[in-house]
Amino acid sequence: MRLHTTTVLSLSALAVLTLAGCSHGSAVSSGPMSSPIVPVHPDDESVPAPAPLSSAALAKRLLDESDLGQGYARMPQRSAHHENVSVIGCPALEKIGGDAGTGVSLVFPRKAKASFTYAGGNSSELTEELYSDTAAKLSKDIGEIFDAMVSCPTYQVVSGSTPITVTPRNLPAPRLGDERWSLLLTFTADGRSSLIKQTAVRTGPVVVVISGSPSLVDAHLHEAVAKATAVTLTG
């Protein structure tokens, strides 16, 4: 089956790029992780819910080279037809993929994305994705994606002709925003492995998703959330 879940697509594409240039194994950086995943809570109905932001507004709040500092270069966006992947061996991800294919769920038309390479590390990459919708829809759909990704101890992602074995693990996430989720995924292909961390933070109608080398995710998550949150506060 084809999986259209944006989170898994981004990670699989990043894994292919990382594995193509990495040496055997990869060390994870022990950044601070202070709080567990927070359960979903309904928003206070007495306060008007902020409206979702447009893709153009989200794009203005992506991190750029000036935010990240010296040594970062922006990567060109990949064409959509290169990002289709197949997932094998995880029923929960297959179910979500089927739902996404109908256009009923896991489709956020308001989105923006940027990817960077970092010259200071071996095959170090960082991707930021911003999504906007109602808080309830973001909570439900993003939560379902992260739950599905850790529902199986291991599964395979096939991107093009490259089969990749994925081993996921839940992580505690820093106490940011209204909700947050975090995963560490080990991608293995052709005897080589790579660690990719992904953390998502929802603040009102905006979700920030940071993926990439664990040390880079830890280093830039707070500033990414701060920059995106300014939109939700000022409109």
Is residue 38 assigned to a domain?
no
Tell if the pTM clears 0.75, that is, is over it.
Answer: yes
Q: What is the mean pLDDT of residues 185-201?
A: 90
Domain region containing 218: 2-22+50-234
Looking at the chain, the whole-number percentage of residues with pLDDT higher than 70 is: 67
First to last CA, the chain: 39
Residue with tokens 């959509």: 80
Q: Give the Cβ contact number of residue 34 at 10 Å.
A: 9
pLDDT tier, 45 (very low <50, low <70, confident <90, very high otherwise): low
Whether residue 42 lies inside any domain: the answer is no
Give the number of other CB atoms < 10 A from CB of residue 163. Answer: 14
Structure tokens at 45: 């109905």
CATH number (domain holding residue 7): 3.40.1000.70
For residue 62, give the DSSP letter: S
The verdict on residue 45 lying in a domain is no
Tokens 């809570």, residue?
Answer: 41
Stretch 207-212: mean pLDDT, rounded?
Answer: 93
pLDDT at 122 over 60: no
Is residue 32 one of the residues assigned to a domain?
no
DSSP state of 136: H
pLDDT at 138 over 70: yes
What angle is formed at CA 151 by the lines to CA 149 and CA 152, rounded to 5 degrees?
Answer: 90
Amino acid of residue 175: R
- Judge contact between 97 and 3, C-beta under 8 A: yes
Judged against a pLDDT cut of 90, whether residue 81 lies above it is answered with: no
Beta pairing class for 179-189 and 192-203: antiparallel
* Res. 203: pLDDT tops 90: yes
In a domain, 91, yes or no: yes
Residue 78 lies in a domain: yes
pLDDT band at 156 (very low <50, low <70, confident <90, very high): confident
The confidence band for 132, taking pLDDT boundaries of 50, 70 and 90, is: very high
Instruction: Give the lowest-confidence range in 110-114, 128-132, 143-147, 166-170.
Output: 143-147
Give me the pLDDT at residue 24, please. Answer: 34
Looking at the predicted structure, is the pLDDT value of residue 103 above 90? Answer: no
| Type of residue at 19 | L
Residue 2, pLDDT above cutoff 80: no
* Residue whose pair of structure tokens reads 């060109």 in the numeric block: 76
The one-character DSSP state at 80 is G
Instruction: Check whether 107 has a pLDDT greater than 60.
Output: yes
Number of domains in the chain: 1
Q: Is position 101 within any domain? A: yes
Q: Domain for residue 30, yes or no?
A: no
